[in-house]
Structure 1
């Protein structure tokens, strides 16, 4: 390999890195040079003119560095394909801060860093505000109560977020993240090109540079690229006008939002939950087809104090049969249960047939035979018409 070819290889790596990082070429060349121990690209080229040649180790080091930001380098799948195929529980980084272990995960561009009783979320968009969550059960002992620890954790999470965003940008056309001389950018999903863009979600208007800088998420409301269009077509015929987004000075909202959360599973014993559990128990108590119909059609009422009433159809549920499972469930839930009988509208003729067997299949057979001999069977046709 000649020196020119080796230098060209470094230039190509810098080009890929610039694409992913949404930077200009000379900054990327300087970054690659720094990885090889040079202060800038000019110094590297000067050394090369004196006879220095990048070794295989130098090229491998530069290649490995760029792959951190361009996962699809060479013949590898695109970043999004690698992201989708990665198992949900597989971290992209594992480490330790001040003796506290952590795992970092990536899911569709969002980064989640978590340890014992704490986690940090950073969204796909550059302007997204980091969120620190501390579990209620760990709020007194969590290391995330220490701002020094949080700052160190954020440094790790933000570093991984930069790589994730670079991977996304490397999948997109270069002009999607770097405006041309006219300020035009290309939508990464539908290919439209424009200098101004509009958010379907909040009716905001932004420049190509603004939307590209935030990785095609609305700087105002955070809507994703699917909600960004080159014209506000949805406002046609209305008096409403898009709202200009003011230039944002800071690249990112660096001050994290801290929340105390309780993510433990919560059982809400409300009216709906109680009635559903009671009906399940009634079905357990039912033996015959009629009793099962009775369990399904029974009126279950739960008041504001969580006391309950079950009203059965006397043709379906035997008056002398206690729903023992439902009574037991009510007792476990701390619900005072009242039972009542009434006459409802029975769905089929000859209700006694439903008590003659425990088999629903046999009951249907007997019912069809009775209707066939003493009544009428109508099979309703579908209301749908075929052309």
Structure 2
């Protein structure tokens, strides 16, 4: 492997981290540099110009960072299979729970309760009692709800990382003019319109909510670059 290839591997890892986190590439380069013991990316490149070369151990650290940010990055078959079946269940404050996803919504449940976190980042959690016969349901307690929500939020973060890694970069990180690219239709605009609620949002707002409407949480299928439905069909 050439010296340029070694540094390129670190840059590629940073690019993958940036996509998963939905941050600028320079921010991800700083993450890589600091993980390798440098205060910032410029310090790392200065060392490289003076003869330092990232050894295999450092490149392995960079690869591990990518996997930690986006363990679902392998989507050839079932992306969740890479985690193993033991990752989908656990115990919280003495109560067993399981986790699953459906259409990228995260569902966490146990005996008599469940928590659902919809795909849209701005969508609130839904708590539900599934067995009203229980005299002591853990979901009735605020501290249990908060702890369950923290676990479910971690899973939703993985879902978001996988989605962001699959989408065009500008769908999650708008350009300097605030223009975002629709992940399905690939239109580009700085203003977006929702067919469901008939309200508009900026490119920055819809990108932050993974192209769900920031106002009514409608799906990306309802988001359009122009309000074509408002046209006067009588003309």
TM interval, shorter chain, is 0.7 to 0.9
1:194 to 186, 189, 210: 189
Q: Quick one: distance in 1 between partners of 2:44 and 2:227?
A: 49
Whether the aligned pair in 1 keeps the contact of 2:88 and 2:100 (CA below 8 Å) is yes
Match of 1:176 in 2: 171
Distance 1:183 1:64, change over 3 A: same
Equivalent residues in 2 for 1:24-63, closer than 5 Å: 24-36=24-36, 40-42=40-42, 44-45=44-45, 53-63=53-63
User: Bigger radius of gyration, 1 or 2?
Assistant: 1
Say which structure is richer in helix: 2
Match of 2:125 in 1: 130
Equivalent residues in 2 for 1:139-158, closer than 5 Å: 140-158=135-153
Q: Quick one: distance in 2 between partners of 1:98 and 1:3?
A: 51
2:90 to 95, 100, 106: 95
Whether the aligned pair in 1 keeps the contact of 2:113 and 2:131 (CA below 8 Å) is no
Q: Quick one: distance in 2 between partners of 1:138 and 1:39?
A: 57
Q: Quick one: distance in 2 between partners of 1:214 and 1:140?
A: 38
Distance 1:99 1:35, change over 3 A: farther
Q: Any unmatched runs of 5+ in structure 2?
A: none
Q: Any unmatched runs of 5+ in structure 1?
A: 239-387
Equivalent residues in 2 for 1:322-333, closer than 5 Å: none
Is 1:209 matched with 2:204? yes
Equivalent residues in 2 for 1:1-387, closer than 5 Å: 1-36=1-36, 40-42=40-42, 44-45=44-45, 53-70=53-70, 76-77=74-75, 82=78, 93-137=88-132, 140-237=135-232
Q: Quick one: distance in 1 between partners of 2:62 and 2:217?
A: 34
**Of the two structures, which has the highest relative contact order with CA contacts closer than 8 Å and spacing of 6 or more?**
2
How many residue pairs end up in the alignment? 230
Q: TM-score, normalised by structure 2?
A: 0.83
Distance 1:151 1:50, change over 3 A: farther
Whether the aligned pair in 2 keeps the contact of 1:69 and 1:164 (CA below 8 Å) is no
Q: Quick one: distance in 2 between partners of 1:208 and 1:196?
A: 5
CA apart distance, 1:50: 7.0
Match of 1:366 in 2: none
